[in-house]
Every structure is written in C-alpha cells, then in structure tokens.
C-alpha cells in the first residue's frame, strides 16, 4: 500500500518501452510512468525550491497507487450483465449505437466510486475474450443500483456473441490515469521563476504599494458595486507590487467572486486610461465549471451588453468538452487556438484548472499579465499549478478561496500522501507560510467577515466552529448603513 516504507510498498506491474520508460500493464489507456520509481522518502521533504518537484512527484505517484488498489478492491468483481435502456443520455452520448446494457449487483457506493474514479470504461471477460464498454454519465445522478454502460467501440461488439442475457461476467475497472498525468504535468512544466514566487521569503514582501490611478468606486460598465468593507481588499489587489501573490481568504458567501470580477474590470480600466503600450491579458481560473459560469452570467456578460458603455474587452470562456453553456464567446479547451487573440490589447479568458492545463500547451509561458484564482482552497496543489504554466516572474497573481471549507483532504488517499502535504491546498500552504514570515505579509492577505448569503441563525454554528465567531450577516450592516444615512 502507498505510504508504507521499504519493501512493503506495492508497485504495479510494468513492461518496458523502447525508449527506456515503462507502462502499466493491464490498462485500457496505458499510462506512462517515469523510468525510475520515485523514492518514497521524497514525500517527507520540506517544500523548498530545490525539493518541490521531487516531493510532489512522489506524493502523486504513491497516491495513485492507493487509488489503483482501492478501485480494484472496491469495484472489481462478478456481476450480472443485462440489456437495459439508460434513464437519460448526455448530448455527446446521443450518437452512441443502441448497445446499452447495465450491470446489476453493485451497491450505490460502488457505482458512484467506479464512475468518479475510473477512466469511464469497464472491461468484461467473457470466455477467452475481453470487451470494453463506456460508463454513461447518467450514473452520476441516477443511482438505482445499476451501472449503465454502452458498448460503443468499433469492431466486434458483444452483440455478435451468441449468449443469453442476463449473463454473469467478470468485471475490472481502470483508474483515471489521465488525471494524474495532468497533475504531474503541472509539477514538471512549471518554471523555476514562477515556482519561486509560490515559495516566498520575507524579501518578497518589501516592495511598497503603488498608487491606484483610477477611481475604483466608479463603475462605468453596468455597476458591479462592492460593500465598503470589501474596498480595502480591492485596494490591496490593485496596489500590490510584491512578487508574492495576494491571498484573499474568506468565508463562504462573503463575495470573493464579486471582488475578483471588480478587480478584473479595474485592471483593464487602469491599463486603458493610463495608456499602457503593452496588452493587458487576464486569466481567471476556478475549480468548478459552474463557478466559471458565475463570472460570465453574473458579471462579465452584463458588462459586455451594457448599452450605455459596453465593456471594451475581448472575453473568451473556455469549457471542457462535456460542459455546455448558453452564451456566445465560448470554446472547448481541446479546440482552443491562441492565434486570434494575440493582437487583442484587452483580453480575458475564464476557465477551470483542467481547461488551463489544456490551453497552456498552446499558449506562451508569459502570455497572461494577470492570473486570478477563485476556489484556490478546493483542490490539490499540483492541480492549482496549471494556470501558472502561463505566467512569468512579472505576472500579477491573486488567489482567493476559503481554506475552512472541505478541500482536497477528502480526495487524497494514503496515509503518507495525506501526512506529508498532498491534502493541503496551495492557498492553505501559502497562508501558513505568510503567517510564519510575520506581519510584513498582512498587506498581501486582505480579508473581511461579512456574509451576504445566509441569515444570522444559519451563520451562528459555522462561525463558531470554523471562523472564530467573527462572521456577520449583511442585514446588520445594512441597518448600520441606514442609521448613518439618517444621521
């Protein structure tokens, strides 16, 4: 099992490629491993510039082994294969051939884990032959003790076999290796200059704040307003000249997304009004597709269509192949081409960590002048590196999130990967680092405690348990402001 030291660590079986590397045997999509197995002791290394890549490469390797073992133990087995129509099909599954089946005998927990942790395929052994079926997306929502699948591969189909259904079959699942390949890609490709900024030292906080040359309380493109307690955080973001990122920790519902949207508008407006000769290119990156849609639906689309003063910015929403949106100006990450946007003086791209990894293969490392991260506490640190593959030592970086919410600790398997840092998000690690450096970092960690989403009775318990009883609902603030206006 991963996390154990010495000879007790289980390693998968490999075959050797012609180039000296190795591939995992028995995988539908055989994943590439480094030619040398990472030393388990590297997981214990401190997070330093010299150790960073070796440490996280080892952590990811041994966590993936845990996932391989758990998926095999939890989901592989003998089940009943039946012909069965799925309750629904996603739009990209509607062209599948009518070879729909289901597996019975799996629990709802097994179905959910197989759907989420596998590469969305299942392998059947029938006699001396093996067949591969796709796991349908309806299994995410329709949990009725049936795993819905489709034999949609070309070539010989299971339908060509003369067997009677229902049929007992031996089933194996394969871990989603491509996810871990992507995480390792971020660790491998990130430049040392950018990585240096994510491991700050006291000298990185000594640059004085710059003057803000625009009126940040003026909103010419549709009126995205802020609360008075949020403006100090906006000023900290706009005035920062330190190489260390600005961190915006805050509780749920305190308006971090809105703050980043306003900061984006201000960055573009300041660039335009000061006549800066170089382009202003901003990347906003989130953990979830829905969160990226909120930026577009609640803020940027309204600014772009504001009749009095439309927002003079080219905005592109990059989505995954499985995510559809209803507004114009979006492109799937796999089809993204950077060429049409190189001449744009004001360019904004909104995507997720996964989308950022895909487009980073097509974008110059220093393309974006600003990178703003939302939900920075929701994922493993290696996944949060993907947007920084398109940064350099001068890119302005802001990371917002709530490190008190459930983060990567629920996703990471294995005692050693958990113990030695893989369940700590990038935002949480940086907050702890800033705290260890001292008061000089406070200018780079603006925060406030007003919640705009919940009433006081709902806030009381989480405020007491996680936020030092400091959360306030906005109703009290509105009453206070009304009293001031009367006086």
Q: Give the count of alpha carbons within 13 A of 171, CB side only.
A: 30
Q: Is the pLDDT of residue 402 over 60?
A: yes
Q: What is the pLDDT of residues 37-66, one digit of tens each?
A: 999 999 999 999 999 999 999 999 999 999
Q: For the chain, give the percent of residues with pLDDT over 90.
A: 62
Length of the chain, in residues? 487
Peptide bond between residue 166 and the one before it cis (omega within 30 degrees of 0): yes
As a whole number, mean pLDDT of residues 353-373 equals 94
So what's the pLDDT on residue 90? 87
Three-state DSSP class for 94? coil
As a whole number, mean pLDDT of residues 372-383 equals 94
So what's the pLDDT on residue 404? 76
So what's the pLDDT on residue 397? 98
Taken in order 51, 54, 56, 58, is the CA torsion positive or negative? Answer: negative
As a whole number, mean pLDDT of residues 200-205 equals 97
So what's the pLDDT on residue 322? 77
So what's the pLDDT on residue 455? 67
Instruction: Please report the domains of the chain, with CATH numbers, ordered by start residue.
Output: 1-176 (no CATH), 190-448 (3.40.50.300)
Q: Determine whether 328 is exposed, middle or buried from the number of CB atoms within 10 Å of its CB (0-12, 13-18, 19+).
A: exposed
Q: Is the pLDDT of residue 487 over 90?
A: no
As a whole number, mean pLDDT of residues 163-172 equals 88
* Number of Cβ atoms within 10 Å of the Cβ of 6: 7
As a whole number, mean pLDDT of residues 400-413 equals 81
Q: What is the pLDDT of residues 243-291, one digit of tens each?
A: 999 999 987 778 899 999 999 999 999 999 998 889 999 999 999 999 9
pTM of the shown model: 0.84
């Amino acid at each position: 099992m991963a996390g154990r030291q010495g000879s007790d660590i289980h390693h998968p079986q490999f075959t050797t490629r012609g180039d000296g590397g190795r591939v995992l045997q028995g995988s539908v999509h055989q994943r590439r491993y480094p030619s040398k197995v990472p030393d388990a002791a590297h997981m214990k290394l401190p997070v330093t510039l010299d150790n960073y890549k070796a440490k996280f490469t080892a952590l990811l390797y041994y966590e993936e082994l845990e996932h391989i073992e758990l998926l095999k133990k939890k989901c592989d087995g003998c089940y009943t294969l039946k012909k069965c129509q799925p309750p629904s099909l996603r739009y990209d599954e509607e062209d599948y051939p009518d070879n729909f089946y289901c597996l019975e005998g799996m629990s709802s927990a097994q179905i959910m884990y197989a759907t989420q942790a596998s590469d969305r395929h299942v392998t059947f052994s029938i006699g001396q032959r093996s067949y591969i079926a796709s796991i349908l997306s309806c299994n995410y929502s329709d949990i009725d003790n049936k795993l819905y699948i489709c034999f949609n591969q070309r070539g010989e189909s299971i339908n060509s076999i003369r067997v009677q259904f229902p049929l007992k079959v031996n089933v194996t699942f394969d871990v989603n290796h491509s996810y871990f390949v992507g995480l390792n890609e971020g660790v491998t490709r990130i430049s040392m200059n950018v990585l240096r900024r994510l491991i700050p030292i006291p000298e990185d906080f000594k640059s004085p704040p710059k003057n803000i040359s625009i009126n940040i309380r003026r909103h010419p493109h549709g009126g995205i307003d802020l609360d008075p307690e949020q403006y100090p955080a906006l000023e900290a973001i706009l005035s920062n000249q330190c190489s260390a990122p600005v961190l915006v920790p805050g509780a749920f519902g305190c308006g971090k997304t809105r703050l980043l949207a306003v900061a984006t508008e201000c960055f573009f407006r300041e660039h335009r009004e000061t006549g800066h000769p170089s382009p202003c290119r901003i990347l906003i990156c989130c953990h979830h597709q829905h969160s990226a849609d909120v930026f577009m639906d609640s803020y940027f689309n309204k600014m772009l269509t504001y009749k009095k003063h439309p927002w003079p910015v080219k905005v592109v929403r990059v989505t995954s192949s499985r995510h559809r949106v209803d507004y114009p100006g979006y492109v799937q990450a796999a089809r993204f081409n950077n060429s049409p946007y190189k001449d744009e003086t004001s360019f904004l791209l909104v995507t997720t960590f996964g989308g950022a990894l895909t487009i980073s293969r097509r974008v110059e490392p220093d393309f974006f002048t600003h990178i703003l991260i939302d939900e920075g506490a929701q994922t493993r640190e290696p996944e949060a590196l993907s947007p920084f593959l398109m940064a350099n030592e001068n890119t302005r970086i802001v990371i917002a999130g709530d490190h008190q919410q459930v983060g990567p600790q629920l996703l990471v398997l294995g005692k050693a990967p958990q113990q030695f840092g893989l369940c700590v998000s990038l935002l949480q690690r940086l907050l702890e680092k800033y705290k260890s450096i001292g008061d000089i970092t406070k200018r780079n960690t603006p925060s406030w405690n007003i919640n705009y989403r919940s009433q006081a009775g709902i806030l009381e318990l989480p405020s007491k348990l996680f936020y030092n009883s400091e959360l306030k609902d906005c109703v009290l603030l509105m009453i206070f402001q009304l009293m001031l206006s009367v006086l």
